[in-house]
Structure 1
């Protein structure tokens, strides 16, 4: 017996979604013997892109039954059935999550029509439900609505059953949920953690912090610690008694807090932040002809780099991007060693600084732009990033090129007001680690808002 289903959700963070619509068709291999279709009030916000995709909005769901009101019917119609869905891992996870919120363990065998289709109908251009059924001539209506998608999945499944005449492939593809290997105490810890960005602290039975980490999904990352088999994870699993956390919203804030907290607390299972973690730096010098030269080299003890890199490979990749973006000379950036002109000059992509043909001032203006872009030396500025809540932003303050601290502010604040800034900021240590973290984050996140402060 099969239960072909489709679920529409609110969207949002992993394991925090809610069901907005569900359709289930109970199928005995020959005909439909039962069905259940219902809107569901998710008791949480629906993401705007989901509203646009499905057409389901909060007004439509105001008087719909809540999940606990339809849970019994779902259990009954799927009892002793194999759940069948297009990308069944998603639908099954959502169902288990909803039942878990009610304190009920929901387990079923499952079957994915995406996996089946790839085996039984190979070489299709796409295996998304809409494109697949269209290419197979299967009629479909109400795309991205639970009933329309469930009916299309049912028709597809009938075709797959016919193609697998021996039913060998279908039997081999059925997934049986394995019993969790997690110890009960570890499961309880994970259940209390959010799927949000922040810093987490793993404590032993005495309450001491034994490990500090950061993640864009705290629940997922701690779960990895509890299930991985490497040496550090095994030590964590043996010693952990509890996990506390602090939401940050911003990954940059999490990175900065993690760095400072590790230095302050020195947890036994954290490897010390080594200088080799960012061993390469960007430096500049003026050559005999007056041109600004840029180099990626190992960080020098008594010289401050313009910016830093984890390894030489990432530094060279950065330099290649700068050469392309600012039309620099490969010879003057250390990417090419030559006694004459660089290769790019030969193909007319270099203006000739390598052979003193380009005006020094013109070239240096572009080279200086690279330095200015990648250094916050002597600058007064704030970096505005995501906050912990919808109506909040995080702020990182830099004054005269020195990292001062972090804070959070309401969207109504005039954030460039110095007095307000001073009241919001929690002071933090400025060091080479924080410089690397900030500069690296700025390079990677083009949408980060950077505001220069006026004196």
Structure 2
């Protein structure tokens, strides 16, 4: 659990500042579950340059509560939370100073989004909150006011969590949280799980990830894990003490993140080398007469394939479908081994390439259209899918035929700059599994929006 906050102060000498405004959002890693926002009477004069910066003046704070009047609420909303702030050392120091004046020792773990941003989003021109979030396409309002800055920090932290593919933030958080050993721990883990699409991480007591999975309904999937009585499930049930989640909104992002993060984190109960999810691939060659032929064979990593299939039955089904859709010859697709014309020519679905009635040039145009629609080769594009919230969309970035990563953008912020798009992308590895996942998903989800990068 995180307490994401921002504080405005009077300015002045070190450790003599007073709080003028505070905003705290309690964030469970998925959603904001509580919030506290208030002006505060600092009982001291605000520096003129601070008034110009924030717009908060002494007159505005005359009837605001004093710090001791809100101290109990601050303790309540931050209990068992990690403090998160942009330049956390400042905000945490100010809070500790105010509580110290009341004779109370305020201690919490803290995370700084400036430090995290420098590690996870390198090479930015500036890491000040305003410039950073604008460069990342994160909307911000009421700059230099506690609530506006805190809301922007929440959005930034969500981006940082998604970019933290090694899950160091989450592991450290789980390690520092108080462990409550209860007899019905599995039931409680299920009760608190979301029903959304995403990736889930099972942790043992020291925070180590022991299993990673994905689901369109995480709560339902956990229920299956914790009610299964096979040997592996029982071992997981004995060891798991916490489950964390990353909501993706998009099933495609969940599939890609699950595949990537199992390889990165090598959880105990995920097979270290997962069996490849496909064994058939589509290849092309040009025959002596100049016609492009398509052929399904066992996947061979030494060859460049157009696309891949889970098994031969799936491949054959798609080949028949494509022959009909593109008016292609069954002979040139390995579906008809007869010596005369193919069956599709008989029913007027083939235009006669198999008996020389259609030129190779004309026929090959349709084959190339099929190849272009199903291959990532030399493609520069973004694939748009569902986001985590109603005002958000997710995207997959592909450049020069290589999968680069995933990200999210707000619907109110038009992404039309490839550099901004790259900066908010969580980099991921291009490999056989990722390529198969993307091609299979695009093949079966025809309503996906695919935009060539040159059209941004």
TM-score normalised by length of structure 2: 0.58
Please name the residue that 1:407 is paired with: 407
Please name the residue that 1:375 is paired with: 375
* Count of aligned pairs: 274
Residue 343 (structure 2) pairs with residue 343 (structure 1): yes
CA distance in 1, matches of 2:318, 2:275: 20
Structure 1 residue 302: Cα displacement? 1.1
Alignment of 1:51-200 (within 5 A): 184-200=184-200
Give secondary structure in 1 for the equivalent of 2:454: coil
Going from structure 1 to structure 2, the CA distance change for 1:231 and 1:322 (only over 3 Å counts) comes to farther
Going from structure 1 to structure 2, the CA distance change for 1:372 and 1:406 (only over 3 Å counts) comes to same
Preserved contact between residue 292 and residue 367 of structure 2 (Cα < 8 Å):
yes
Preserved contact between residue 380 and residue 398 of structure 1 (Cα < 8 Å):
yes
CA distance in 2, matches of 1:294, 1:220: 41
Structure 1 residue 301: Cα displacement? 2.7
Preserved contact between residue 280 and residue 298 of structure 2 (Cα < 8 Å):
yes
Alignment of 1:241-280 (within 5 A): 241-274=241-274, 276-280=276-280
Going from structure 1 to structure 2, the CA distance change for 1:371 and 1:414 (only over 3 Å counts) comes to same
Give secondary structure in 1 for the equivalent of 2:384: strand
CA distance in 2, matches of 1:429, 1:301: 17
Please name the residue that 1:318 is paired with: 318
Going from structure 1 to structure 2, the CA distance change for 1:273 and 1:412 (only over 3 Å counts) comes to farther
Aligned Cα RMSD in Å? 1.7
Give secondary structure in 2 for the equivalent of 1:332: helix
Preserved contact between residue 328 and residue 349 of structure 2 (Cα < 8 Å):
no
Structure 1 residue 272: Cα displacement? 4.0
Give secondary structure in 1 for the equivalent of 2:414: coil
Please name the residue that 1:233 is paired with: 233
Going from structure 1 to structure 2, the CA distance change for 1:221 and 1:326 (only over 3 Å counts) comes to same
Deviations 1:194-241 (A, max 9, x none): 000110011123322111000111111111111123333223222222
Deviations 1:306-346 (A, max 9, x none): 11111111111111111111111111101121222212223
**Quick one: higher RCO (CA 8 Å, sep 6+), 1 or 2?**
2
Preserved contact between residue 289 and residue 356 of structure 1 (Cα < 8 Å):
no
Alignment of 1:413-424 (within 5 A): 413-424=413-424
Runs of 4+ with >6 A deviation: none
CA distance in 1, matches of 2:324, 2:274: 32
CA distance in 1, matches of 2:226, 2:434: 29
Preserved contact between residue 194 and residue 218 of structure 1 (Cα < 8 Å):
yes
Going from structure 1 to structure 2, the CA distance change for 1:210 and 1:191 (only over 3 Å counts) comes to same
Deviations 1:117-162 (A, max 9, x none): xxxxxxxxxxxxxxxxxxxxxxxxxxxxxxxxxxxxxxxxxxxxxx
Give secondary structure in 1 for the equivalent of 2:436: helix
Please name the residue that 2:425 is paired with: 425
Please name the residue that 1:65 is paired with: none
Preserved contact between residue 416 and residue 453 of structure 1 (Cα < 8 Å):
no
Residue 396 (structure 2) pairs with residue 396 (structure 1): yes
Give secondary structure in 1 for the equivalent of 2:333: coil
Residue 446 (structure 2) pairs with residue 446 (structure 1): yes
Gaps of 5+ in 2: 1-181
CA distance in 2, matches of 1:440, 1:365: 23
Going from structure 1 to structure 2, the CA distance change for 1:252 and 1:273 (only over 3 Å counts) comes to farther
Preserved contact between residue 295 and residue 334 of structure 2 (Cα < 8 Å):
yes
CA distance in 1, matches of 2:183, 2:366: 59
CA distance in 2, matches of 1:252, 1:349: 34
CA distance in 2, matches of 1:333, 1:356: 16
TM-score normalised by length of structure 1: 0.58
Residue 364 (structure 2) pairs with residue 359 (structure 1): no
Preserved contact between residue 306 and residue 374 of structure 1 (Cα < 8 Å):
yes
Going from structure 1 to structure 2, the CA distance change for 1:237 and 1:417 (only over 3 Å counts) comes to same
CA distance in 2, matches of 1:401, 1:214: 26
Preserved contact between residue 276 and residue 433 of structure 2 (Cα < 8 Å):
no
Going from structure 1 to structure 2, the CA distance change for 1:339 and 1:390 (only over 3 Å counts) comes to same
